[in-house]
């Protein structure tokens, strides 16, 4: 896979990684880890992206970890951080990773200008000084050393909670930084929840985020067998926390679209993503729709909410022979298979 512009800068600054025990964190989807293996003493990968984890979980040269918090027994001499899209997620990752890796850890930060990399020096200030050493193709490369750690890290301190009331049903939602709809209920999800079908049997909340959809479905229909999936470890942890704090039960696990799905679902319910980082990407939603019949049981239904400008009805019609528009506003529409 061709290297991204950010990884191309990392490759041309390869000397920073010579004879280092490198921990790579943040999101990238290219072949930079094997490039680093050629120079580094060891390479480990910490990711909250399940797709990224699957690409390296069986690599004998690179130990990969997928979780919301780095395992306690992991150490490294140099952290290579790919700048995430959300500033709150950057703050979370720096605090969590440097609290564990400790003082004197060398840090390289790389990312696209449009992702907010220009704020790297300011956000790193509590830990030390970052110096910009390279820039090209609208990306920046920074280097510094962690010389102080201001406070201990406790993941419980990072959950943002907020109340949600829909149809006289009350929930408290818990979300970690970087999770969709962090700290608030978005209008699309609200429209979906107000127009759910009568649920029964085995029900999947695809792209569960902070767990709003799945938790509301379980609250309204306690007898359903609820499953929830997401590609993000931060979302998985958030959904588990939301279920627990509301006294609800459901199985929450990671899946890269259908990679870890079961089958014979009575309903698949979703507010599917159409972004990958800062880029627009319809792959997840289009795959969700086009392959749904393989995972739905007999008479099973797919129900999603989408922005009005997204052309999903033709794909519904191609897949299910019919697309039912359940509800709509000027910005969103709820679509269901026949």
- Residue 44 sits in the same domain as residue 15: yes
Structural domain of 309: 159-337
Whether residues 117 and 168 fall in one domain: no
Residue at 150 is within a domain: no
Q: Which of 112, 145, 178 is the last residue of a domain?
A: 145
Residues 119 and 163 reside in one and the same domain:
no
Structural domain contains residue 235: yes
Asked if residue 184 and residue 98 are part of one domain, the reply reads no
**Pairwise CA distance, residues 29 & 271, whole Å:** 24
Q: What is the pTM for the complete model shown?
A: 0.94
**171 and 304 share a domain?**
yes
| CATH value at residue 115 | 3.40.50.150
To which H or E segment does residue 257 belong? none
Judgement on whether residues 123 and 205 belong to the same structural domain of the protein: no
User: What's the number of domains the chain is made of?
Assistant: 2
> Is residue 209 located within the same domain as residue 260?
yes
Helix axes 313-320, 283-290, angle to 10 degrees: 30
Residue 152 lies inside a defined structural domain of this protein: no
Tell me if residue 172 falls in helix, strand or coil: strand
d(CA 238, CA 230): 11
Q: Strand, helix or coil at 130?
A: strand
Domain end, chosen from 91, 119, 145, is at: 145
**Length of the chain counted residue by residue:** 338
First to last CA, the chain: 39
Same domain, 133 and 178: no
Short-list 76, 128, 118, CA closest to 100: 76
Q: What is the pLDDT of residue 182?
A: 62
What are residue 43's phi and psi, to 5 degrees?
-135, 125
Q: Which two tokens stand for residue 240?
A: 């588990």
CA 230, CA 237: separation in Å to the nearest integer? 10
Please report, in tens digits, the pLDDT of each residue of the chain (338 residues total).
789 999 999 999 999 999 999 999 998 889 999 999 999 999 999 999 999 999 999 999 999 999 999 999 999 999 999 999 888 999 999 999 999 999 999 999 999 999 899 999 999 999 999 999 999 999 999 999 999 998 899 999 999 999 999 989 999 999 999 998 666 788 999 999 999 999 999 999 999 999 999 999 999 999 999 999 999 999 999 999 999 999 999 999 999 999 999 999 999 999 998 744 444 568 899 999 999 999 999 999 999 999 999 999 999 999 999 999 999 999 999 999 98
Q: Is there a domain that residue 151 lies in? A: no
């Amino acid at each position: 896979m061709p290297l991204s512009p950010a990884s191309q800068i990392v490759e041309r600054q390869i000397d920073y990684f010579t004879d280092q025990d490198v921990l790579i964190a943040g999101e990238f989807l290219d072949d930079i880890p094997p490039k680093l293996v050629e120079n580094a003493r060891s390479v480990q990968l910490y990711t909250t992206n399940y797709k990224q984890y699957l690409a390296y979980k069986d690599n004998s040269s690179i130990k990969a970890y997928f979780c919301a918090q780095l395992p306690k027994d992991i150490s490294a001499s140099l952290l290579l951080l790919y700048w995430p899209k959300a500033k709150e997620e950057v703050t979370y990752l720096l605090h969590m990773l440097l609290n564990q890796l400790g003082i004197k850890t060398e840090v390289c930060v790389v990312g696209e200008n449009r992702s907010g990399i220009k704020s790297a020096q300011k956000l790193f200030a509590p830990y030390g000084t970052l110096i910009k050493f390279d820039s090209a193709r609208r990306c920046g490369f920074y280097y510094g050393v962690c010389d102080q750690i201001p406070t201990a890290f406790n993941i419980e301190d990072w959950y943002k909670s907020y109340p949600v009331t829909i149809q006289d049903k009350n929930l408290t939602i818990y979300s970690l930084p970087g999770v969709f709809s962090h700290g608030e209920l978005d209008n699309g999800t609200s429209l979906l929840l107000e127009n759910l079908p009568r649920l029964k049997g085995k029900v999947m909340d695809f792209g569960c985020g902070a767990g709003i959809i799945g938790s509301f479905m379980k609250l309204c229909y306690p007898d359903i067998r609820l499953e929830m999936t997401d590609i993000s470890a931060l979302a998985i942890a958030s959904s588990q926390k939301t279920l627990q704090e509301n006294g609800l039960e459901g199985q929450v696990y990671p899946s890269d679209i259908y990679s870890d799905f079961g089958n014979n679902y009575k309903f698949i319910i979703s507010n599917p993503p159409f972004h990958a980082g800062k880029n627009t990407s319809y792959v997840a939603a289009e795959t969700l729709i086009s392959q749904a019949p393989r995972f739905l049981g007999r008479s099973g239904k797919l129900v999603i909410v989408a922005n009005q400008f997204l052309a999903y009805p033709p794909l519904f019609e191609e897949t299910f022979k019919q697309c039912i528009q359940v509800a709509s506003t000027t910005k969103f529409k709820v679509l269901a298979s026949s």
